[in-house]
């Protein structure tokens, strides 16, 4: 690969690599706006096959540059022992994208709010998926370094409930557990202490219901445990409330 960085606004000189998935070539409006604001200097250079003009890396950047009418920067790849197809495969299988914790760690160097969250997650071995389930903070929010506004007292109580349920159901996917709890927390009046107490009683009496497979199966298991020996007129309260919210 040549180490000279080139630039062009003659977009017809280049073309999308034939081995690139179509879903990976669409430029986002956010990327287009960023390139407009920086005259194309924001992104890393793409990689182009010098023999065919095919873009091997940087398809979204290329499309965004076209829409923003700014130069597309790139370096050239000359096929040798490694073909363009093999190069594309290696490029997209040998690297590793940043995890959510990687983003948090990076931002924490200059953003105290992110530093507090990063240390909290690492020190307590908390999966980042709980941020979405319990705080409605998505991966996109983290990557964009959006303001978080986490109530840690509330979050800690939810995390404690999550770890308790994981202990009661060690064979159930942790993803199922925190997603199910995330739904229950959206029900007005849901009491996590009641759920913990009911699960404790059922476990001691060896009456824990074996989780069954199916859509939202674990949410229903927790609802049935929550309503164990409740008044007849309030039976299945949680499950019915989830149905009203469209969460089942």
Containing 74, the helix (H) or strand (E) segment is strand 72-77
In total, the chain counts a number of residues equal to 248
Q: Give the single-character DSSP code of 7.
A: E
- 8 A C-beta contact, residue 73 and residue 5: yes
Rg for the chain (alpha carbons), in Å?
25
d(CA 23, CA 88): 15
Which residue matches tokens 């497979």? 213
pLDDT, one tens digit for every residue, the chain (248 residues) = 556 889 899 999 998 877 766 655 566 788 888 888 887 776 688 999 988 999 988 888 888 898 889 999 999 988 887 888 788 777 777 766 778 998 899 898 889 999 999 999 999 999 999 999 999 999 989 988 999 989 999 999 999 999 999 999 998 889 999 999 999 999 888 999 999 999 999 998 888 877 665 557 888 889 888 888 776 555 557 777 777 766 66
Paired with 75 in beta bridges are: 47
Q: What is the pTM of this model?
A: 0.67
Paired with 8 in beta bridges are: 72
Enumerate residues 6+ apart whose C-beta is below 8 A from 212.
221
User: What pLDDT score was predicted for residue 21?
Assistant: 64
Q: Where does the chain have alpha helices with state H?
A: 29-38, 59-68, 84-93, 100-108, 112-123, 129-135, 139-143, 152-168, 174-184, 192-204, 217-226, 237-245
User: What pLDDT score was predicted for residue 29?
Assistant: 82
Angle, helices 152-168 vs 192-204, to 10°: value is: 20
């Amino acid at each position: 690969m040549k180490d000279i960085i080139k630039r062009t606004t003659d977009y017809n000189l280049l073309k999308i690599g034939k081995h690139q998935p179509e879903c990976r070539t669409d430029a986002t409006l956010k990327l287009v706006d960023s390139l407009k604001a920086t005259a194309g200097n924001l992104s890393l250079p793409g990689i182009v096959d010098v023999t065919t003009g095919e873009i091997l890396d940087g398809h979204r950047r290329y499309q965004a540059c076209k829409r923003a009418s700014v130069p597309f920067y790139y370096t050239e790849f000359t096929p040798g022992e490694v073909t363009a197809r093999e190069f594309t495969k290696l490029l997209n299988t040998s690297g590793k994208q940043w995890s959510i914790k990687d983003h948090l760690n990076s931002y924490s160097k200059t953003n105290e709010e992110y530093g507090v969250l990063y240390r909290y997650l690492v020190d307590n071995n908390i999966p980042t998926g709980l941020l979405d389930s319990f705080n409605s903070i998505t991966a996109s929010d983290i990557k964009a370094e959006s303001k978080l506004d986490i109530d840690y007292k509330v979050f800690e109580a939810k995390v404690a409930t999550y770890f308790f349920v994981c202990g009661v159901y060690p064979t159930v996917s942790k993803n199922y557990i925190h997603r199910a709890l995330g739904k229950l927390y959206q029900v007005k009046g849901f009491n996590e202490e009641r759920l913990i107490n009911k699960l404790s009683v059922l476990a001691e009496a060896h009456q824990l219901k074996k989780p069954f497979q199916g859509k939202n199966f674990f949410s229903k298991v927790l609802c049935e445990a929550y309503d164990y020996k409740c008044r007849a007129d309030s039976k299945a309260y949680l499950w019915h409330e989830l149905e009203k919210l469209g969460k089942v």
